[in-house]
Amino acid sequence: MTLTLTPLPGIPMVRPGDDLGAIVLHGLEAAGLQLADGDVLVLAQKIVSKAEGRLVALNSVTPSARALELAARSEKDARVVELILQESREVLRVRPGTIIVEHRLGFVCASAGIDHSNVAGEGQADEEWVLLLPQDPDQSAARLRQRLEAASGARLGVMIIDSHGRAWRIGVVGAAIGFSGLPGIVDMRGQADLFGYTLRITLIAAADELAAAASLVMGQAAEGTPVVHGRGFPYPLREGSLGELLRPKEQDMFR
Amino acid sequence: MTLTLTPLPGIPMVRPGDDLGAIVLHGLEAAGLQLADGDVLVLAQKIVSKAEGRLVALNSVTPSARALELAARSEKDARVVELILQESREVLRVRPGTIIVEHRLGFVCASAGIDHSNVAGEGQADEEWVLLLPQDPDQSAARLRQRLEAASGARLGVMIIDSHGRAWRIGVVGAAIGFSGLPGIVDMRGQADLFGYTLRITLIAAADELAAAASLVMGQAAEGTPVVHGRGFPYPLREGSLGELLRPKEQDMFR
């Protein structure tokens, strides 16, 4: 089946308290798309975080002693480092320019996903604001899904993604940070291949493959389009959540 | 722009010496697709490896002392381990059931990408065969691209993918192991975002995002479709190669 990924046009600058459901529905209308059973919607974390008011003014942040120490080692703003620490369970690596953490949501990422770009606060233009990840992206996705399913009558999947670096390979790719109504992992264990061998590859991170695909069409710069509609997701939709994708620390060979 | 990914129907079982160009052109015809400038074609490594005759009969392999030692630690067939060692630069981790290596092609993966499924050799049905990765996937992609561009007159990108596990996250995702005519990394450094901040995310692994997207529509089981046609790849095509995506060992914080 063909997979079609369409970035929705005309998504406005999102502000705290904005109604994401209405924004997505308006974007779908602008794209000439009507939601159908099996469709998926993928949102960049940035607009979800903004709608949820996860902006923090840096001048409101007082760095702890530990943040000051990590700021010196990482050559980062100590106030941003303080927020990174507040949003993390564990610091895994520190290098000049880089802090890799286990986020409180369970995944490993740089700077706890705290974003300094495309962020404008409510105050003076020269104030510095940063954007934290949504409080609970699985729940954010579930709420939006409920809203969009109620409006459309269609059975949908909704996902929130961010861009994550990887061990071993250069560059970032889209990765799921929360979702509702679609599988995180598709388990092929026990299925036979064309020759009757058991499949070598048994756990497919379908949610992350969708996240990467949607990220590809979102872009990252000024012309970015933070909502993507997908049709033709090839696996059956079901309930699912981020936890499926998180490797327990004690089973991780590369921590 | 909408990205459309179409798995090509009717791809036959590929055998050593088969003409992949003809197979892809036939699949495009079966899908009713005519190649156009900017189109990309993504192939599963398995059919490229088979066409290139990278099958090895396990009864032809004599394990070295090191292979026997690693086979005991990993609980794997010592002959397969011997091939893993021959195909690798370095063994990174060994656990029961798992050997993670730096492949001779430069990327990190499990079992040197050696595949025991969907593999049939030329001999008796009960002989055991495995499939090594293509000798030089960038070159394989370049040859196929030349063939398809000559047949169509269109400017194309061609990529070969495999499924790779990740540090930190469960499940495999499609990853590029070789390509021609498309960017590995898209460098956004210096570009301003909507507020004039410099972008936080500056190196996008566009090739791996495409690989994951194509992998999503390929599937892994008996109904698998190992060739995907993509239209609407959102970045300008250019010359590119796998090396762009490989993080030098000395810059890798997670080795």
Q: What is the ipTM of this complex?
A: 0.94
Can you give the CATH number for the domain in which B187 is found? 3.30.1330.100
- The pLDDT tens digits of the residues spanning A167-211 come to 999 999 999 999 999 999 998 876 665 555 555 568 999 999 999
Q: Is the domain of A222 the same as that of A141?
A: yes
Residues of A with Cβ-Cβ distance to B233 under 8 angstroms: 216
Alpha-carbon gap: A150 to the closest alpha carbon of chain B (Å) = 26
The answer to whether the CB atoms of B107 and A168 lie below 8 A apart is yes
Q: What is the rounded distance in angstroms from the CA atom of residue B74 to the CA atom of residue A131?
A: 44
Structural domain count, chain A: 2
A203 in a structural domain: yes
The answer to whether the CB atoms of A209 and B208 lie below 8 A apart is no
A251 in a structural domain: no
Can you give the CATH number for the domain in which B108 is found? 3.90.1660.10
Of A131, A157, A191, at which residue does a domain stop? A131
B93 vs A: CB within 8 A: yes
DSSP 3-state helix, strand, coil percentages of chain A (rounded to 5)?
Answer: 30, 25, 45
The amino acid at residue A127 is E
Residues of B with Cβ-Cβ distance to A209 under 8 angstroms: 173-174, 212-213, 215-216
Q: Is the domain of B14 the same as that of B109?
A: no
Q: Is the domain of A124 the same as that of A150?
A: no
Q: Is the domain of B75 the same as that of B118?
A: yes
Task: Map residue A167 onto helix, strand or coil.
Answer: coil
B128 backbone dihedrals φ, ψ, rounded to 5°: -105, 130
Q: Is the domain of A191 the same as that of A103?
A: no
Confidence class for position B201, pLDDT limits 50, 70, 90 = low
B164 in a structural domain: yes
B148 in a structural domain: yes
Alpha-carbon gap: A130 to the closest alpha carbon of chain B (Å) = 11
A198 vs B: CB within 8 A: yes
Alpha-carbon gap: A151 to the closest alpha carbon of chain B (Å) = 24
In percent, the amount of chain A with pLDDT more than 90 equals: 82
Cα dihedral A37, A189, A178, B175 in deg (nearest 10): -100
Residue in chain A nearest B210 by alpha carbon: A213
Residues of A with Cβ-Cβ distance to B195 under 8 angstroms: 117-120
Q: Is the domain of B229 the same as that of B139?
A: yes
Bridge partner residues of A141 (DSSP):
none
- The pLDDT tens digits of the residues spanning B139-179 come to 999 999 999 999 999 999 999 999 999 999 999 999 999 99
Q: Is the domain of B170 the same as that of B238?
A: yes
Q: Is the domain of A77 the same as that of A101?
A: yes
Q: Is the domain of B64 the same as that of B176?
A: no
Per-residue pLDDT, A27: 97
Of A131, A150, A183, at which residue does a domain stop? A131
Q: Which of A203-212, B190-199, B211-220: highest mean pLDDT?
A: A203-212
Local structure of residue A155 (DSSP, 8 states): -
Of B79, B107, B131, at which residue does a domain stop? B131
Among the residues of B32-127, which ranges form H helices?
45-51, 65-74, 78-86
B251 in a structural domain: no
Residue whose entry in the numeric block shows the structure tokens 């510095």 = A128
Q: Is the domain of A143 the same as that of A236?
A: yes
Q: What is the rounded distance in angstroms from the CA atom of residue A123 to the CA atom of residue A37?
A: 42
Per-residue pLDDT, B115: 76
The closest CB to that of B193, out of A100, A108, A117, belongs to A117
Range in A84-88, A111-115, A131-135, B103-107 the model is least confident about? A111-115
The answer to whether the CB atoms of A1 and B217 lie below 8 A apart is yes
**Global pTM?**
0.95
Local structure of residue B157 (DSSP, 8 states): E
Closest CA relative to residue B213, chosen from B35, B4, B48: B4
Q: Is the domain of A138 the same as that of A33?
A: yes
Residue whose entry in the numeric block shows the structure tokens 């620490």 = A85
- The pLDDT tens digits of the residues spanning A13-24 come to 899 999 999 999
- Taking CA atoms, B56 is separated from A103, B23, B53, B117, B118, in Å, by 44, 23, 9, 13, 13
- Taking CA atoms, B27 is separated from B40, B154, B241, in Å, by 14, 17, 25
Task: Map residue B222 onto helix, strand or coil.
Answer: coil
Q: What is the mean pLDDT of residues B187-202?
A: 64
Q: Is the domain of B35 the same as that of B157?
A: yes
A192 vs B: CB within 8 A: yes
Element of type H or E holding A216:
helix A206-218
Residue in chain A nearest B251 by alpha carbon: A168
Residue whose entry in the numeric block shows the structure tokens 């609407």 = B232
Contact B155, B231 (CB under 8 A): no
B15 in a structural domain: yes
Which residue range(s) make up the domain with A178? 4-45+134-245
Per-residue pLDDT, B58: 93
B60 vs A: CB within 8 A: no
B250 in a structural domain: no
